[in-house]
Amino acid sequence: MRRKPVSTEDLFWSYVRNRKLGGHKFKRQFLIEPFIADFVCVEKMLVVELDGALHADRKEYDADRDRFFESQGYEVMRFSNEAFAGDVSTILKTIELALGTPSPRPPPRSAGARENMA
């Protein structure tokens, strides 16, 4: 049986979900009206876009989207699917540097804290 190959977005998500990248929370397919960004770290106002072959003919549209996101205070990082798949560690390190200081993780809730809430 052939397995469905993992998309580049799925691969990226596997590296950043659940605060895996420097403790930062990412959201996938995040609405910044009127557009939907591929991935966003709202806390650091960072948009990450992964572009497939379709984007080769959409450079002006993508530039307009980037300008809009920037006008809303977001930094935009755009990578081709090929660049990401070809060098995952460098792309992730580049994003991590853009994020800056690690995000403080919320402290784990203790059993006693849950009991006190009841």
Arithmetic mean of pLDDT, 18-35: 95
pLDDT in tens, 34-93: 999 999 999 999 999 998 867 667 889 999 999 999 999 999 999 999 999 999 999 999
State pTM to two decimals.
Answer: 0.79
Looking at per-residue confidence, does 39 or 109 come out higher? 39
What pLDDT, on the 0 to 100 scale, is given for residue 51? 87
d(CA 67, CA 49): 13
φ/ψ bin of 18: left (φ > 0), alpha (ψ from -120 to 50), beta (otherwise): left
d(CA 116, CA 1): 52
Strands (E), 22-100: 27-32, 35-41, 46-51, 75-80
Confidence of residue 114 (pLDDT cuts 50, 70, 90): very low
Q: Which residue has the tokens 């402290």?
A: 107
- Residue 13 CB contacts under 8 Å (≥ 6 apart), including other chains: 26, 28, 39
